């Protein structure tokens, strides 16, 4: 039996087990994957606790999965080194991360009911089913697929009725930002910097709005604009 996934282990050290060149192995269970992303969200220093009491209880696992996605992407982009070879490796790893993301969304949105995630695996079920072949094998995406199943467009009924508003776009934009970081370090104009923030900061607020049930629609345009402005301001202040 594979050892438990220690959330205190840096993501780069887990690449040997879950990375693009790792040996084929049984995927972690949903229960194991959720325990990992919960632990990761509380084991790393941040400016604020990701799963604070301000987060609704029924969304905390979703926040943990989203945080784990961002944390891994950040490390894949930042923790390989500062040489040209290291930056090339980061670009390769981020490309692999995007492929995993695309597979996660495709798997979670399946409508044929053949995946455990599509069948609505209960986190409290025992024993927890393992993800079927061709489904996510990385613990972050096993956990994130459950979030996509519950909140994604086309992925079932949202709590307020209708298809959920979560899409792949903000996740992909975050990866684009980390890719830009490998080749571009200074921005010549304010507009260029603001565009970078639309990739590196604004998607986080958009994901939070989607998890809360607010789709990116004309009637929510002002809400999304305020979220973008807040996220951009936080990004600029942080740097």
Residue 194 lies in a domain: yes
Q: What percentage of residues in the chain have a pLDDT greater than 90? A: 72
Residue 155: what pLDDT?
42
Quick check: 111 pLDDT over 90?
Answer: no
SS3 216: coil
Count each helix (H run) and each strand (E run) in the chain, helices first: 9, 0
Residue 51: what pLDDT?
57
Residue 167 lies in a domain: yes
Residue 104 lies in a domain: yes
Total of domains in the chain: 1
Residue 30: what pLDDT?
95
Residue 3 lies in a domain: no
Q: Mind listing the pLDDT tens digit for each residue in 18-69?
A: 999 999 889 999 999 999 999 999 876 554 456 567 888 999 999 999 999 9
Residue 161 lies in a domain: yes
pTM: 0.85
Residue 190: what pLDDT?
95
- Closest to 57 measured CA to CA, from 101, 123, 121, 108: 123
Half-sphere exposure of 56 (CA within 13 A, CB side): 8
Residue 116 lies in a domain: yes
Residue 50: what pLDDT?
61
Residue 131: what pLDDT?
43
Q: Mind listing the pLDDT tens digit for each residue in 73-100?
A: 999 999 999 999 999 999 999 999 999 9
Task: Supply the range of the domain harboring residue 101.
Answer: 11-238
| CATH code for the domain in which residue 77 is found | 1.10.600.10
Residue 5 lies in a domain: no
pLDDT, mean over the chain? 85
Q: What average pLDDT score do residues 104-131 get?
A: 52
Which stretch of 125-129, 190-194, 226-230 has the lowest confidence by average pLDDT?
Answer: 125-129
Residue 214: what pLDDT?
95
- Closest to 51 measured CA to CA, from 142, 40, 145, 42: 42
CA dihedral 152, 66, 51, 79 (to 10 degrees): 180
d(CA 201, CA 231): 5
Residue 53: what pLDDT?
73
Residue 96: what pLDDT?
98
Residue 1 lies in a domain: no
Quick check: 153 pLDDT over 90?
Answer: no
Residue 133: what pLDDT?
52
Residue 47: what pLDDT?
45
**DSSP one-letter string for 163-199:** B--B-SHHHHHHHHHHHHHHH----SSHHHHHHHHHH
């Amino acid at each position: 039996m594979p050892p438990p996934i220690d959330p205190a282990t840096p993501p780069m050290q887990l690449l040997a087990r879950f990375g693009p060149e790792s040996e084929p192995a049984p995927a972690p269970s949903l229960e194991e994957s959720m325990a990992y992303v919960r632990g990761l969200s509380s084991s790393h220093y941040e400016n604020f606790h990701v799963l604070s009491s301000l987060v609704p209880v029924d969304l905390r696992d979703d926040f943990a999965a989203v945080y784990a996605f961002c944390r891994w992407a950040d490390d894949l982009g930042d923790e390989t080194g500062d040489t040209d070879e290291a930056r090339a490796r980061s670009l390769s790893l981020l490309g692999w991360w995007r492929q995993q993301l695309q597979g996660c969304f495709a798997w979670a949105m399946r409508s044929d009911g053949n995946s455990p995630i599509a069948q609505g695996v209960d986190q409290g079920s025992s024993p927890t089913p393992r993800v079927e072949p061709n489904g996510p094998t990385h613990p972050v995406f096993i956990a994130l697929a459950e979030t996509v199943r519950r909140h994604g467009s086309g992925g079932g009924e949202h709590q307020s009725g209708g298809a959920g508003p979560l899409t792949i776009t903000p996740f992909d934009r975050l990866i684009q930002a980390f890719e830009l970081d490998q080749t571009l370090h200074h921005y010549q104009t304010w507009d260029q910097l603001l565009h970078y923030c639309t990739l590196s900061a604004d998607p986080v607020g958009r994901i939070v709005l989607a998890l809360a049930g607010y789709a990116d629609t004309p009637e929510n345009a002002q809400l999304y604009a305020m979220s973008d402005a807040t996220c951009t301001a936080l990004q600029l202040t942080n740097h």
